[in-house]
Chain A
Amino acid sequence: MSTRLRKGQAPTKRMAHVWDASKCIACGACVMACTSTNNPDMMMREEKGWNSIASNIRRIDSVSAQGRPEVLLVQCQHCEDAPCLNTCPFGATYMDDNGMIRLDPRMCSGCSYCVTSCPYNVRWFHPDSKLPKKCMGDTCLELVDKGLQPACVQSCPAGARDYGDLNDPNSSVSVTLRTKRSRRLLENAGTEPKYFVVEGS
């Protein structure tokens, strides 16, 4: 298990999600895999806040400036300067040694400060525990600990997802980000997100 960092401490790894919008076919397999992997108890229950299934991934439809239909998949960005971490009064939200933003449920009071402070609106409340949920889910964290890929990466039939260490220049995500055009969401929010949207070669 990856350890909790203290304030000012830098993570050893900077694990990042890469979603290739130029490959994604909007099939929803990752959205469902996220639910069945991390919150199987929610498989037949609605996530009331988003009026959707209880997944850590949300789909947003939009149109580009050129009028081109676009789809965006949004999930926790594992920001290097995370507003949720900064606003949590109880220190329940923290960054781990992999650079992942995590929640310690024992310290969480369910006050929802993190939910409202997230500029990406990716946190939701579990209806039973009343605690916030987001990527990475517990099971995905275990997968990653085993050296495996998270559920969304494994389930994607179009090869549109990847997860790896930005600090390792040879990791597949580093190679992708070096060789392909990519962007981050709400770049100007000062959050330094670690979720990359690949837009093409």
Chain B
Amino acid sequence: MKPTEQQAISRRKFLIGSAAVAAGVLLADKGWVDAQPFFTPEGVDVEGLERAGYLVRHTICHQCGAGCGLTALVKKDAPPSEENMLIFGNQHPEHPQRGMCGRGATAPYTWNSPLRLRKPLKRVGERGEGSFEEVSWDQALDEIAAKVREIVERDGAKAMAFSTHDYKAEMQLLAWPLGSPNVISQASTCNTAGVVGRRWMMGSGFDHHATIDPDYDNIRYVLFPGRSLNAPIGAVHRLAKAREHGAKVVFLNPAHPDVAFANSDWIPCVPGTDAAFMLGVAHVLVSEEKYDESFVLNQTNLPFLLKADGKPLTQEDLVADGDANVFALMSVDGEIVFHDAAGIQPELTYAGTVTLADGSDAAVTTAWNRLVTHLADYTPGNAAQITGVPAATITRVARDLFIMRGVVEDTWYNTRNGNDTDVIMGLMTVNALLGNLDQVGGLGVRLGSKLPGMIGRASDGTVSLITGDSFLMEHTKTIDKEIYPETNATFDAVFQGILDEQPYPITGLMLVGATIFHRDPNVARAIEAIKKLDLLVTVDIVHQEICDWSDYVLPAEMFLERDHIKGIGWTQGISVALQRKVTDPPAGVDARPDAWIMLEILRRAYPQRAAMVGHYDWMSDVATWKNEWMHPIEELRIEGLANAWNRDPAEVRRELEENGFITFQPKQYGLTPYNRPFASPSGRLEVYAFRPVLRGYREHGFATYFDPPAYTMPRAEDEFFLVNGKSPIGGSGVAGLAFPTQYLVDNRLWLNPADAERLGIAMDDEVEVEGLDTGWKAKVNVNVTPRVIAGTAFVYSYSGGHRQKVVADDPRFAKLSKGLAPHWFSKSWVDPITGSNSNNASVRIRRA
């Protein structure tokens, strides 16, 4: 919706767009009669509302990790309560990531949930028992600090590990001054396979899952392999508009994603076979000559010459003192040319012999020739055998992609079967053939926002805060990188450190917003590790299952209670958003900011080290700390951002406050890689990934299909793949525990009607599920539905199998303990190179 004429003419500030859900509650139930006149069909008059005692606060949703735009209306000078605030999606028509989905809608439920953590808790019973006493913040922080000190002095700082989903910088404020590099996120249970695949093909800086995304506004055809698009909801909103203009949306997935209800095609496939599907599509594109030849020649490394051993032919091979990082191609004139030269006209199909610098001859062939040979194994017929998708469908998808100039989306959560990096490589191979990168309706590459971070570390180990404080860290390599050379974060390494004391012992663990039992595969092993720890501290918003196993549980502020500035991901242009505090915590909730908690533990353990990051004893009062520590840092970040874009910081802040976001630069098409090379060794989209070949990780650089190594393959009649996915209602750690989730998200096990009939299972029957690898047994009710492919069972993640005592004890939340947590059954297979973990499993299913 564009601003109306009245809005355009009026000098009053309007909240553009419809007034949203919020308006409803305020009009009648809140008795906010005086606010009524400011809600009109034209929009919401912000200044009028402020005069009447209401504040409009834009913020960033954090009910999942996607960060969509929300807006809240809050009553000024009133006690915090659901009655005094209203939350709805930011309605600004230009907002690049408008909220809100069914998870966002649970934010008020989470805020004052009976499961909300209210006071610091200290364990009094056995680990896992869920018995706690409430203690003061001072007692909790002092005791934790003393224990941290004991661990650091006895086992070394590296023995302290830290994990979080979204609060890495906050945890680094404690870990790094302590001297522990081990802040390790959830990535390997979510996105590592994709990150590594993208890095291998496009290089660092192009590897993040929020960096490359379909240009939804203009999309014509998009295929989502394995992604359910349950988030960000702003992308769904845009896709809905594209569908209006005829865009075709196709999901490749063993289970039918909720978003596919919206007039999309769903192609069911056997779990773990997406790479074969992609290579089948690539086969059709190549054999039917349906590819963008100019893109293939000029923007990919397919014309590059390869030696018989699979390594690229380099300048070093060809000339004395040549550069090993400069690669050779054959020009159409029959001359060897180097990739860094201008105006190359390469030959795509050259094969022959070249003379090397040492005088010997070497057989070389282009990567294209090798690709054609490689793809010979992936005829649609062969791919159909593997994937369970008819050959005609594979052929049709390939043709549609080409004819409609479509794209294959590059996935987000993809660590499932152990062969997932090849899925990303396969789908990027298809995208390379389509040549539809950074074009209108193509796969767009987003540039960085230039928003400075709070804390950073240089390659020499120098840690710097944006305030200018800095110090040197001796040991910077995280424990997972000692084991998995290509990982972005593999938390399994921490379990190895605890259980096997390899490569060194881990004895203390701190978690912020890390729902271990619903995040990390192999719960039995996680429990074994947790039991061995000397210290486990969990900082969270609601009482997760992991809390029951923790020595101390500390209540953290939720997003409605904090100020923060953040870049917006999964967009085309460059945008930044402001998370503004909407309310204080509800009465009785003594929640504190994550960063303050970390700094206070540090200060109480080592005051001098806290001083290195500018935190002192007089900041133990939260309000003082916010004014003296946090606020100046956020201001410096805004200042850095404004300076980077040649804008006035005050103006940037005002605009952020007024609209909730700023788009600094709209999408500029045709930039990457055409005028801005990728960071891969060749600067091109490397369909033949050089990095894993040059580092000796792989024999060749192409995507390949191999059977999933992550679990025993199901073979018998009653054996199934077990896969999971997220719902746009309860699909996150916090939203999974919201009251409505237990009613609106199905926590039964999905079975295909053909399987159910064979096993004599009817709708809602109870079955026993047993992990083929973990032996874990659990009972669950069945939903017999064609929404899952035969031979596979499906559960929504986060929405079932919550075993914490508070849930069991509160009849209102009884349903949350029903259902399964998929991680009971997955064995935690980790790829030795990429460090990517795998959440899928195989199970035996029997009538209970």
Q: Is B261 in the interface zone, CB < 8 Å from A? A: yes
Given A28-B728, A44-B812, A159-B240, is A69 in contact with B785 using a C-beta cutoff of 8 Å? yes
8 Å CB interface, A58-102 against B: 59, 61, 63, 67, 69-71
State whether B787 touches A69 (Cβ < 8 A).
yes
Knowing A155-B88, A157-B100 are in contact, say whether A27-B812 is a contact too (CB < 8 A).
no
Roughly how many angstroms separate A178 CA and B557 CA in the complex, as a whole number? 50
Chain B binder among A6-14, A32-40, A185-193: A32-40
Q: Is A104 an interface residue (CB 8 A)?
A: no
Q: Which residues of A contact B743 (CB under 8 A)?
A: 46, 51-53
Q: Smallest Cβ distance from B71 to chain A, in angstroms?
A: 12
Q: Which of B36, B263, B744, B786 contacts A69 (CB under 8 A)?
A: B786
In the complex, B547 has a CB within 8 A of chain A: no
Residues of chain B within 8 A of A51, CB atoms compared? 743
Q: State how many angstroms separate the Cβ of A60 from the closest Cβ of chain B.
A: 12
Inter-subunit contact A32/B105 (CB<8 Å): yes
A177 within 8 A of B: no
**B28 close to A (CB within 8 Å):** yes
- In chain B between 689 and 743, which residues have their CB closer than 8 angstroms to a CB of chain A? 728-729, 739-740, 743
The answer to whether A139 touches B262, judged by C-beta atoms less than 8 angstroms apart, is: no
> CB distance B262 to A142 under 8 Å?
no
One of B24, B114, B261, B262 near A140 (C-beta < 8 A): B24
Is B179 an interface position by the 8 A CB rule? Answer: no
Asked if B447 is at the interface (CB within 8 A of a chain A CB), the reply is no
CA distance A155 to B101 in the complex (A): 8
CA distance A38 to B21 in the complex (A): 10
CB neighbours of B104 from chain A (8 A):
29
Name the interface residues of A6-30: CB closer than 8 Å to any CB of B.
Answer: 21-29
Interface of A is mostly: mixed
B779 within 8 A of A: no
A111 proximity list for chain B (CB < 8 A): none
From B98, B114, B258, B261, give the contact of A21 (CB < 8 A): B261
Q: Does B109 contact A (CB under 8 A)?
A: yes
Q: Is the CB of A27 within 8 A of B24?
A: no
Q: Give A134-161 interface residues, CB cut-off 8 Å to B.
A: 138-140, 142-143, 146-151, 154-155, 157-160
B262 near A25 (CB under 8 angstroms)? yes
- Bound complex: CA of A70 vs CA of B256, how far in Å? 10
Number of residues on chain A facing chain B (CB within 8 A): 49
Q: Is the CB of A23 within 8 A of B263?
A: yes
Q: A69-B785, A139-B25, A149-B18 are in contact. Are A200 and B41 (CB under 8 A)?
A: no
| B99 contacts partner chain A, Cβ-Cβ < 8 Å | yes
B169 on the A face (CB < 8 A): no
Q: Would A143 and B114 be within 8 Å (CB), given that A26-B261, A28-B105 are in contact?
A: no
Q: Which 5 A-B pairs have the closest CB atoms?
A: A28-B102, A37-B24, A22-B263, A27-B728, A28-B729
Say yes or no: A157 contacts B18, CB within 8 Å.
no
Q: Which of B468-519 contact A (CB under 8 A)?
A: none
Residues of B within 8 Å of A118, CB to CB, are: none
The reply on A43 being an interface residue by CB < 8 A is yes
> Contacts of A69 on B, CB cut-off 8 Å?
256, 260-261, 266, 785-787
Assuming A27-B101, A33-B105, is B21 touching A154 (CB within 8 A)?
A: yes
| Beta-carbon contact of A27 and B28 below 8 Å | no
- B39 interfacial contact with A, CB 8 Å: yes
Minimum CB–CB distance for A146 against chain B, Å: 7
Is A31 among interface residues, defined by CB-CB distance under 8 A?
A: yes
B contact residues around A63 at 8 Å (CB): 785-786
B262 close to A37 (CB less than 8 A): no
Are the C-beta atoms of B106 and A32 separated by less than 8 Å?
A: yes
Give the distance in Å from the alpha carbon of A123 to the alpha carbon of B581 in the complex.
39
- Give bound CA distance, A36 to B259, whole Å: 24
Cβ of B23 and Cβ of A36 under 8 Å apart?
no
Q: Are A142 and B28 in contact (CB under 8 A)?
A: yes
Given contacts A26-B261, A32-B106, A46-B743, contact A158 B237 (CB under 8 A): yes
- Name 5 interchain pairs, CB-CB below 8 A, sorted by A: A25-B259, A29-B105, A33-B21, A36-B25, A139-B24
Question: Which residues of B lie under 8 Å from residue A35 when comparing CB positions?
Answer: 740
Shortest beta-carbon distance from B236 to chain A in Å: 6
When C-beta atoms are compared, the residue in chain A nearest to B746 turns out to be A61
Using Cβ atoms and an 8 Å threshold, which residues of chain B touch A38?
Answer: 24
Asked whether B744 lies within 8 Å of A28 as measured between CB atoms, the reply is yes
CA distance A59 to B746 in the complex (A): 11
Residues of B within 8 A of A150 (CB): 24
Q: A28-B744, A36-B21, A52-B744 are in contact. Are A23 and B39 (CB under 8 A)?
A: no
* Residues of B252-297 whose CB lies within 8 A of A: 256, 258-263, 266
| Interface hits, B100-124 → A, CB 8 Å | 100-102, 104-106, 108-109, 114
Q: Which residues of B contact A149 (CB under 8 A)?
A: 18
Contacts of A33 in B (CB 8 A): 21, 24, 105
Q: Is the CB of B25 within 8 A of A32?
A: no
Question: Which chain B residues lie closer than 8 Å to A155 at the CB level?
Answer: 20-21, 88-89, 100, 105
A148 touches B21 (CB 8 A): no
| Cβ-based interface call for B29 (8 A) | yes
Smallest beta-carbon distance B387→chain A, Å: 19
A37 to B21, CA, bound (A): 7
Chain B residues within an 8 Å CB radius of A53: 739-740, 743-744
Q: Are B20 and A27 in contact (CB under 8 A)?
A: no
A159 to B237, CA, bound (A): 7
A149 to B40, CA, bound (A): 10
User: What's the Cα separation between A154 and B744 when bound, in Å?
Assistant: 20
Known: A35-B740, A53-B739, A63-B785. 4 other contacts (CB 8 A): A21-B263, A33-B24, A52-B743, A146-B36
